[in-house]
Amino acid sequence: MTSAQPNRLLADFCRTTGLDPAPVEIGELDTLPSRLATTELSTGSVAAASLAAACLTAERGHGTVPAVHIDPRRVAASFTNDRLQRLDGAGAVTWAELSGFWAAADGWVRTHANYPHHRERLLAALGLAAETGRDAFAARVGALPRNELEDRVTAAGGIAAAVREAGEWRRHPQAVAVAALPLVGLTRVAGAPPRRLGPAPAGPLRPATGLRVLDLTRVIAGPVATRTLALLGADVLRVDSPALPEIEWQHLDTGAGKRSTRLDLRSHAGRATLDELLTTADVVVTGYRPGALDGFGLDPAALAARRPGLVVASLSAWGETGPWRERRGFDSIVQAATGIALRESADGATPGALPAQALDHATGHLLAAAVLTAVTRQLTGGGTWHVRAHLARTAHWLLEAPAQPGADGTWDPDDVLTEHDTASGRLRAAPPAVSFDGGPVEYPNPGGVWGADAASWA
């Protein structure tokens, strides 16, 4: 059964980017039920990526735009794969001891301490020892006002947010800045000759084949975007600093289809290798805070100037403007700050959460859709393009879209999950959610090992 209601997120994406709003079939199951339009957000973002892939396929010589069919069960499995995936039968521990909601002196705060360096900064900001456990941490948080704690931790380079009502957030200067942003940005920033790509390979159709994608992203949203491009045939190379750790289960989830390497950009050799990669890159996707990579010449303007014809994709938590533009942020933190956590409260007082890291996954799919749309434009009109997406802007869409009751949301993830032997072990995980006639139904090379590949194109 398909929904009789048009998907509003897909409609907004097409209106914002000029993507041809061809008919899309979206199943009716409400697989991510919440007080907000979470299922519509998730299926709409995947539909945008699928439709953009189908349009690129047609532009590359397929003739007609392949039909797009979105299965909400596959979408929900993909969005909740952090909980569903199993490696040799074992699930992942997805939240660290000091990550979560905590009662402050005048409300609630949300912390994120999944990475060791974020835990260290969080504890240092509160004057606590490295071995501090949950009880002592809770007592310290309970003695501080929520806004003071947010400011202290942020100033120390840690990650915490005061839990706000949606109305309180709307009055915040950062909310005003976010509200002025489009759902996604798609801008031609300079001229360049039309891109040349032959017909998309068939069996299956992979319309991003021939594109080299430099993946400078971490955590979930950015890696989801580049995982989508890898699914569609792009040669995706993720580059990380050897000084920053990665979480194994997280890379297994978002690293499918890619290769992964580590480069120290503070060294001459690392910079030289990256510069060599950039000379033949077609797409660069960055997921660090605005300004964080500028010192390496990786800001959008510098990249566009040194590589005409490039598509530069920028992802951030809070956007490029406003007082929080340089703040770190994660899906859970954005949910807390913008009012989503309290909207999802079960009792009207204790904050809750969306049924998935939906801001991350939806924003990643929207960013991938914008990249594919930019490449489609390049085939006929050329140009150097900058595309942008932000977790907070996706949160605004979700808060503003009235929830629509869906059909019975009962579904069995076991009917969806697939299994593969990987270098890390036997992996049971969600298949791709992106879907169009003739397109791929499995990721190439699932379960890659983080940092194990050469710093070169395939």
The whole-number pLDDT of residue 412 equals 87
Distance CA 110, CA 159 (A): 9
Per-residue model confidence (pLDDT) at position 250: 87
Mean pLDDT of the 352-366 span: 97
77-86, 151-160, 407-416: the lowest-pLDDT one: 407-416
The dihedral built from the CA positions of residue 15, 20, 23 and 25, taken in this order, carries a sign that is: negative
Token code pair at residue 131: 């071995």
Q: In sequence order, which residues have a C-beta less than 8 Å from that of residue 22 and are 6 or more positions away?
A: 51, 54, 55, 65, 68
Whether omega for the bond prior to residue 6 falls within 30 degrees of 0, making it cis, is no
pLDDT level of residue 1 (50, 70, 90 thresholds): very low
Least confident interval from 387-396, 403-412, 415-424: 403-412
In Å, what is the CA distance from 425 to each residue of 237, 428, 434, 442? 22, 10, 25, 18
Task: Collect all residues with Cβ–Cβ distance below 8 Å to 142 and sequence separation of at least 6.
Answer: 102, 103, 104, 105
Range 418-439 average pLDDT: 94
Q: Quote the pLDDT of residue 248.
A: 85
For the chain, what's the residue count? 458
Instruction: Give mean pLDDT, residues 68-89.
Output: 95
% the chain with pLDDT above 90: 83
What average pLDDT does the segment 344-369 reach? 96
Cβ neighbours for 236, distance < 8 A, ≥ 6 positions apart: 213, 215, 226, 227, 229, 230, 257, 258, 259
Q: What pLDDT does 198 receive?
A: 85
Distance CA 322, CA 335 (A): 18
Please check whether residue 56 is in contact with residue 375, taking contact to mean a CB–CB distance below 8 angstroms: yes
pLDDT, one tens digit per residue, over 124-136 is 999 999 999 999 9
| Choice between 211 and 293, residue whose per-residue pLDDT is larger | 211
DSSP structure string for 266-282: TSHHHHHHHHHHHTT-S
Is the model's pLDDT at 4 over the cut of 70? no
Helix/strand/coil (H/E/C) assignment for every residue in 148-217: HHHHHHHHCCCCEEECCCHHHHHCCHHHHHHHCCCCCEEEEEECCCCCCCCCCCCCCCCCCCCCEEEEEC
Predicted local distance difference test score (pLDDT) of residue 343? 96
* pLDDT for the residue 393: 98
| pLDDT, position 201 | 83
Q: What phi and psi, each to the nearest 5 degrees, are found at residue 69?
A: -130, 120
What's the longest Cα–Cα distance across the chain? 65
The CA-atom distances, in angstroms, between 190 and each of 168, 303, 305, 312, 387 are: 39, 11, 8, 12, 13
pLDDT, position 283: 98
Q: What pairs with residue 272 in β-bridges? A: none
Query: What tens digit of pLDDT does each residue of 238-256 get?
Result: 999 998 888 888 888 999 9
Smallest Cα–Cα separation from 392: which of 116, 161, 227, 217?
A: 161
The candidate with the shortest Cα–Cα distance to 388, out of 404, 368, 413, is: 368
Q: What is the pLDDT of residues 20-76, one digit of tens each?
A: 888 899 998 999 999 999 999 999 999 999 999 999 999 998 889 999 999 999 999
Reply yes or no on whether the pLDDT at 196 is more than 80. Answer: yes
pLDDT digits (tens, 9 = 90+) for 375-384: 999 999 999 9
d(CA 182, CA 196): 29
Per-residue pLDDT, averaged over 93-110, amounts to: 93
* Tokens encoding 431: 């298949």
On whether the CB atoms of residues 33 and 355 are closer than 8 A, the answer is yes
Compute CA 311 distance to the chain's CA centroid, rounded to the nearest angstrom: 17
pLDDT at 3 exceeding the cut of 70: no
pLDDT in tens, 269-322: 999 999 999 999 999 999 988 888 888 889 999 999 999 999 999 999 999 999
Mean pLDDT of the chain: 93
Question: Above pLDDT 70, what percent of the chain?
Answer: 98
Instruction: Give the pLDDT confidence score for residue 21 in this predicted structure.
Output: 84
Q: Any idea what DSSP says for residue 59?
A: I
Q: How sure is the predictor about 5, in pLDDT bands with cuts at 50, 70 and 90? A: low
Cα–Cα distance, 46 to 10 (Å, whole number):
9
